[in-house]
Structures are given as structure tokens and as C-alpha cells.
Structure 1
């Protein structure tokens, strides 16, 4: 994949869209996985609890066993459930959940993120993004700087209350990871930018936070542009600390 393709705004999904009611098996099993996923991460089902069997679920809902079976496979692939022959499907321990899966992240926020979950994802950002900013300051090129600057212009123009401003915010953070030239870090970029988007949504839409985030972003950009790796690391730490406060984690 080219760098241009990787930095398109459409490359920042929060989760796979949940299909509408008018589709076929695919639409039905996506809806079932979505509803069960929220019930699991929201605590309606606890680790060790058993999901309804195919026959019971089909009889109670009128939904085909095939659609339900496919939904369970989706949840299993995300680590939320496990199935055993003759013993049914049970909820996995949380340590087995793929917390960075885009759907799981979305379901966590739809269910209402716990303080512990918010702490965990901000700690993840604290581990990953300051180091990424540090490497980006050392390895960025003129094209990286141009794209980051444009993303900030769009963020400033539209603001975080709009989809366009939030997409620009995600793009800025993704461009920093791309500028590290580190494939392992880049592989985290979709999940990290989804975390950025969901925490922004939580802070701005749920908590009605109105703090101006631009000075923090401008400071990170300035340090990367100057090639000051240590200052880039420190400025990104400050950005994350302030974003954590916006989400009520101060």
C-alpha cells in the first residue's frame, strides 16, 4: 500500500459499519454480533457465562441458526467468546479480549467506558505516541511535514465538534506514526487513531469539554518540524495528559 493510500481520510474507521435491517445473512449476523458484543463488554454477560444455544436463540428470535453461528464466530475472532463441543459458547476472560479491535473499541464506548478502560487506553497512548513523536522528529521528511501541517490547518479550520475536524485530528496522529518509518509502530496506527477518535467523541460529545487542543498539537508539530526528538516526546506527553483530563481522567 502506498503512503498516499494509507493516509486517506477513509482509512480511519471507528468500527465496521453495522448493516441495516434489509440485507441478507451478512447484515443479520453483523447486527447480532454488534448487540451481543455490547452486552458482553457492558457487563450483561460475565466471564464464564454461557451464550444461548443456536436452537434456543433461533426459536426465541426467529433469526436463522446460520446467522447466529456466524455472529458467534465474529465474537470468537475478537476473543470475546470461546466454544467447546457439547459445552456451548462461553464468555472469555477479559484478558483474552482483543481490546484494540475496532469493533471492540466501539462497543466499549457504546456501552459506556469505565474509568479503568479509559485509564488503560490513555496509558497505551502514553507508551506509544511519545516514542512515535520522538522517532518522527528524527526521520520525517518534507512531505511528512507538509501533510502534518495541512492536517492541523484542517483541524483548526473545522474544530473538534465536526466530523471533518476529527478526521484531521486522526490524520495528524496517524501521520506521526507513519513518519517513524517503523513498521511495527505503523501497524498500530489504525487502532491508535481509533482510540484518539473515540476519546475525543467521549470528551466533546459526552462530557461537553471545550478546551482548545490546538496549542498542544502545534507544539508537537513544531518540535517534529525542528527535528528536536526529546522535545517532541515531551510535547506529545503533554498533549496526551491534557486529553486525558478532557476525558475526566485528571
Structure 2
């Protein structure tokens, strides 16, 4: 007697997070980004679980009204970030969280696309506390005039435009990028995108929930002054203080809501 074939657990658009055309009228060159974001959000939110099999390329193309090329590119993006993987004789499956590239800026952004959970917020601040104070200490010893100039210009924009504006928030990212560059360590510099998006998303979160806290420009200026004076210990302490205050503002808000 032959064995019954295993039933594949295929998650369709109907039993996941909705179907239908994907942003009709959008330029085809951007549809793969929209699809990758849609699928990533469904995976991260738990609508699609590890081991679930995604619809086929053809099925997605027909049900969403987009080209197979756009679907293929979206699958490539998600595969490169570890959220899905092709498996022989099964199809393209959702992977375990342990396989996700959690330092990828897009993945961090997708995780913040809905209300982030406490663990995610805690993890990102722990990452920053491990990396940025040490980077600030190195920057105090290794910085060049160009790094100080970039940090000073970023401070001026933050002071003038405030973190309530897009230009102020971009300047905040630029400040942290210049600091990492000043540490003169290629591996640290490679984390710039991850740190930058973590800074931007936490700032945006605090603004949206009205918990910006103490003057963040003054805290950044203290870090700059320590680096400019070549004081590694002070730079480390000031950066750690900046991050801890930012974290405390968010924790206070969450405690008030619970």
C-alpha cells in the first residue's frame, strides 16, 4: 500500500493578511519593494509562521496583479535577508527567526512598522550600549579634523531644526555615522546602517509618543566636546549616558501605559 503524500502547509493570501492587487497604478520598478515589505511584515508579525510555504511565483503574480519578475525580485530580497528560503520538493518556506538578518536596516525597519515589542526595543538599546560608547572612546583618540567638522555640522542642524523635523533627524543619523567613522575601525563602520536606522526609529518612536525627554542636542554636544578634547573616558561615559537617557524615556512611557 503506497504512503499518502504529505500535505504541504501553503499559506495563501486569503488565510494570511489579505490579498488582492498590490498597489494598482504603482510603477512596476517599485512593486517588488512593496511585495517584499508586505511579505516581511506578515512574517515578522506571525501571520506567516516558520515552515509555512509561500504561494508560487505564478500564484502571487496572478493574485496580486504584478509581473513574475517583480515577484522573483521580492523573493530574492527576502531570501538575502534570511526571512525565507527555497527548499527542495516543498517550495519557498518561511524561516526561523534565528535565521533572519536582524542587523539589516530593512529588517529593523519592518520590525518597527507596527508597535515594536519590549524585547525589540530592549535589544536595540543593548546593541547601541555595547557598540557606541566603545566607538566614542576610540573616536576620541583617532578622530581627524574632517570627522569633527561633520559632527559639528550635524549638531548645528540638530540645534537649528530640532529632532522634530526630517532634517534634524537626518543630522542625528549623520552625527552617529561620523562618530563611527572617527573610530577608524572598518568593522565598526560597517555597522553604521544598522546603528543609524536604530537611532532614527527610536527617535521617531519617541516623537510619536511625546517622550523625547531631555534636550538630546545638549547630550550629543557633550559627546562631541569629549571627542574633540581627546578624552576617551569622558566620551565613553557621555555616549553611554545619552543612550541610557533615551532608553529611560521609552521605558517610562511604557510603564505609564501598563
The two structures have a TM-score, normalised by structure 1, of: 0.86
Structure 2 residue 27 is matched with structure 1 residue 23 = yes
The corresponding residue for 1:159 is: 162
Task: Map residues 1-250 of structure 1 onto 2, 5 A cutoff.
Answer: 21-24=25-28, 26-205=29-208, 207-211=209-213, 212-248=215-251
Name which one, 1 or 2, has greater alpha-carbon Rg: 2
In structure 2, distance between residues paired with 1:243 and 1:153: 20
The CA RMSD over aligned residues, in Å, is: 1.9
Provide structure 2 residue ranges, at least 5 long, that are not aligned to the other structure: 1-22
What's the CA shift for 1:147? 2.2
Say if 1:131 and 1:64 are closer, same or farther in 2 by CA, change over 3 A: same
- 1:21–1:27: 8 Å Cα contact kept in structure 2? no
Encode CA deviations 1:211-233: one digit per residue, 9 max, x unaligned.
Answer: 22122112111111111101111
What CA distance in whole angstroms lies between the structure 1 residues aligned with 2:191 and 2:63? 40
Displacement of 1:91: 1.1
Relative distance call for 1:115 and 1:193 in structure 2 (3 A) is: same
**CA–CA separation in structure 1 for the residues paired with 2:149 and 2:83:** 41
What is the SS of the residue equivalent to 1:90? strand
Report the count of equivalent residues: 230
Q: Which runs of 4+ in 1 moved over 4 A?
A: none
Secondary structure at 1:210 match in 2: coil
TM-score (structure 2 length as normaliser): 0.83
- Deviation string, structure 1 residues 36-82 (Cα, Å, up to 9, x no partner): 11111122112222222234333433333332232112111110011
Structure 2: distance between partners of 1:194 and 1:21: 29
